[in-house]
């Protein structure tokens, strides 16, 4: 049964499926009321909210393109109106489009910068002044920051930018009792990783980790739950690579 004694509220971006879905499910299980943000997949988001409620948790869906600062502000206002405030922000929404720097076009660059970099900036800009005392901000980076494989240039650049903002905001929030950290997953079994990859490439990437398997969304949700909960209180301004040991 969920722990109903903890009334804290978590806003998880990109939570309709994949890693974000697992994070919302896990935080709800740990007693958080969760706001399930998504871009367009209403059916998946509603299904997840219903399953959380069936398990005795509390969840609300919130459609908003994280790249749109006005839409993000409306979502934040609505969450505050419904639940009185937000304690934990998980910046999980993201897209990955692979191409060499020579071949990638402007649309590939602009869309990843808008969603992966401006998105977390939009939510952190609000969180910096409106997250409740004792709050936590958890950003999703990637272990490609460090691996730097060919074709990941723009994607890795957006995630390196997220890591930079993580370090800076942790310091800017001095005195607020709010921590800011990032989790950097390695290959994790979701649509973002699997779609469009030949099985041979998936097999090679699966063997990269000494633990010899792909990450599962729940592996990443476990790390987020640690940072969001009491045991993570002293971790601040850090990037934790959750990747089975690939780097
Ligand atoms: N999977 C991996 O191997 C891996 C590794 C390292 C880091 N990561 C990072 O982990 C995060 C989650 O990835 P994932 O693998 O779970 O991806 P995923 O399965 O493709 O899910 C992406 C989620 O982001 C949402 N989203 C996309 N664009 C959005 C926008 N503009 N505004 C709001 N929500 C948006 C999607 O909503 P809809 O359903 O409505 O489209 C969906 O909920 C990303 O930041 C990714 O970069 C993933």
pLDDT digits (tens, 9 = 90+) for 105-122: 999 999 999 999 999 999
Helix axes 153-172, 119-130, angle to 10 degrees: 10
Between CA 209 and CA 211 the distance in angstroms is 5
Of all protein residues, the one whose alpha carbon is nearest to atom 20 of ligand 1 is 192
Nearest atom, ligand 1, residue 189 CA:
1
Of all protein residues, the one whose alpha carbon is nearest to atom 19 of ligand 1 is 18
Nearest atom, ligand 1, residue 63 CA:
33
Using the mean position of ligand 1's atoms as its centre, give its distance from the Cα of residue 180 in Å. 20
Using the mean position of ligand 1's atoms as its centre, give its distance from the Cα of residue 112 in Å. 11
Q: Give the pairing type, strands 179-185 and 33-38.
A: unpaired
pLDDT digits (tens, 9 = 90+) for 169-214: 999 999 999 999 999 999 999 999 999 999 999 999 999 999 999 9
Of all protein residues, the one whose alpha carbon is nearest to atom 39 of ligand 1 is 41
Q: Residue 165 corresponds to which tokens in the numbers above? A: 């903002």
**N-terminal to C-terminal alpha carbon distance within the chain:** 36
- Domain map of the chain by residue range? 9-241
Using the mean position of ligand 1's atoms as its centre, give its distance from the Cα of residue 83 in Å. 25
Nearest atom, ligand 1, residue 141 CA:
7
- pLDDT of 238 higher than 90: yes
Question: For ligand 1, is residue 185 a contact (CB within 6 Å)?
Answer: yes
- pLDDT of 5 higher than 70: no
DSSP H helical segments within the chain, as ranges? 18-29, 42-54, 69-83, 106-112, 119-130, 144-147, 153-172, 191-194, 199-208, 217-228
3-class SS of residue 98: coil
Between CA 191 and CA 193 the distance in angstroms is 5
Residue 99: predicted pLDDT: 98
Between CA 220 and CA 136 the distance in angstroms is 16
Query: Quick check: is 38 catalytic?
Result: no
Residue 17: predicted pLDDT: 98
| Whether domain 9-241 has CATH 3.30.930.10 | no
pLDDT digits (tens, 9 = 90+) for 16-44: 999 999 999 999 999 999 999 999 999 99
Using the mean position of ligand 1's atoms as its centre, give its distance from the Cα of residue 110 in Å. 16
Residue 3: predicted pLDDT: 44
Sign of CA dihedral 74, 75, 76, 81: positive
Question: For ligand 1, is residue 142 a contact (CB within 6 Å)?
Answer: yes
Of all protein residues, the one whose alpha carbon is nearest to atom 21 of ligand 1 is 18
């Amino acid at each position: 049964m969920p722990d109903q004694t903890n009334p804290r509220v978590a806003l998880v971006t990109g939570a309709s499926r994949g890693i974000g879905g697992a994070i919302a499910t896990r935080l709800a299980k740990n007693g958080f009321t969760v706001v399930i943000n998504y871009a367009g997949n209403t059916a998946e988001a509603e299904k997840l909210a219903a399953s959380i409620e069936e398990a005795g948790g509390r969840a609300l869906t919130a459609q908003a393109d994280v790249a749109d600062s006005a839409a993000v502000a409306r979502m934040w206002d609505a969450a505050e109106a419904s639940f009185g405030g937000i304690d934990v922000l998980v910046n999980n929404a993201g897209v990955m489009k692979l191409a060499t720097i020579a071949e990638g076009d402007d649309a590939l660059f602009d869309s990843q910068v808008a969603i992966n970099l401006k998105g977390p900036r939009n939510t952190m800009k609000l969180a910096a002044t409106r997250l409740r005392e004792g709050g936590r901000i958890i950003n999703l980076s990637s272990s490609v920051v460090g691996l730097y494989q060919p074709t990941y240039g723009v994607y890795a650049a957006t995630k390196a930018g997220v890591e930079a903002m993580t370090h800076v905001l942790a310091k800017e929030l001095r005195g607020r009792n709010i921590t800011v950290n990032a989790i950097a997953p390695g290959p994790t079994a979701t649509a973002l990783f699997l779609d469009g990859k030949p099985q041979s490439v998936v097999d090679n990437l699966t063997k990269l980790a000494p633990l010899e398997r792909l990450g599962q969304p729940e592996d990443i949700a476990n790390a987020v739950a640690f940072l969001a909960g009491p045991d993570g209180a002293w971790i601040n301004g850090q990037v934790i690579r959750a990747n089975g040991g690939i780097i």
